[in-house]
Each structure stands twice: as C-alpha cells, then as structure tokens.
C-alpha cells in the first residue's frame, strides 16, 4: 500500500479495485460501481497512511535473507 500511495502522491494515477473496505481506506477517492453504474464518487474521509519508511528505496532490503 505504501508503494501505491507514494506513486499517487508523486502525481501518478493509481487505480485499485477491491471488495475490501479496509483496503479502500488507503485511497484518496472511492468510486463505487454497481451493475455497471457509478453510484458513489467521493473523497475518502479519514484516509489511512501506510508506513512509507518501510518501502525499500534501492532494492537492497528486498535482497536480504530472512
């Protein structure tokens, strides 16, 4: 989630599709579609922020053995 939020904050468009309300709380906007029609399009209130400090910047962290 942190990678998606960081990309979006850098003016990149990110489209996420989910059925999980807790995942949708990480987004800036929530668009609800039912039967092929938009029934809601609104900013997310109380947006959750992922831990951006845990995102490896150079890939070094992802190469470490656990």
| pLDDT (tens digit per residue) in 18-41 | 999 999 999 999 999 999 999 999
Q: Has residue 57 been placed in a domain?
A: no
Say how many domains are in the chain: 1
Q: Has residue 13 been placed in a domain?
A: yes
Distance CA 4, CA 30 (A): 15
User: What's the pLDDT at 51?
Assistant: 84
Q: Has residue 14 been placed in a domain?
A: yes
List, for residues 34-65, the tens digit of each pLDDT value.
999 999 999 999 999 998 665 555 655 555 55
Q: 5 pLDDT exceeds 60?
A: yes
Q: How far is CA 35 from CA 32, 42, 64, in A?
A: 10, 18, 46
Q: Has residue 66 been placed in a domain?
A: no
Q: Has residue 46 been placed in a domain?
A: yes
End-to-end CA distance of the chain: 21
> Whole-model pTM?
0.66
Q: Has residue 36 been placed in a domain?
A: yes
Q: Has residue 64 been placed in a domain?
A: no
Q: Which domain holds residue 16?
A: 2-52
Q: How many CB atoms lie within 10 A of CB 8?
A: 15
């Amino acid at each position: 989630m942190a990678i998606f939020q960081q990309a979006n904050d850098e003016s990149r468009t990110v489209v996420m599709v989910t059925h999980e309300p807790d995942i949708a709380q990480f987004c800036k906007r929530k668009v609800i579609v039912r039967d092929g029609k938009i029934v809601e399009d609104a900013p997310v209130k109380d947006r959750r922020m992922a831990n951006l400090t845990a995102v490896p910047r150079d890939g070094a962290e992802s190469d470490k053995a656990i």
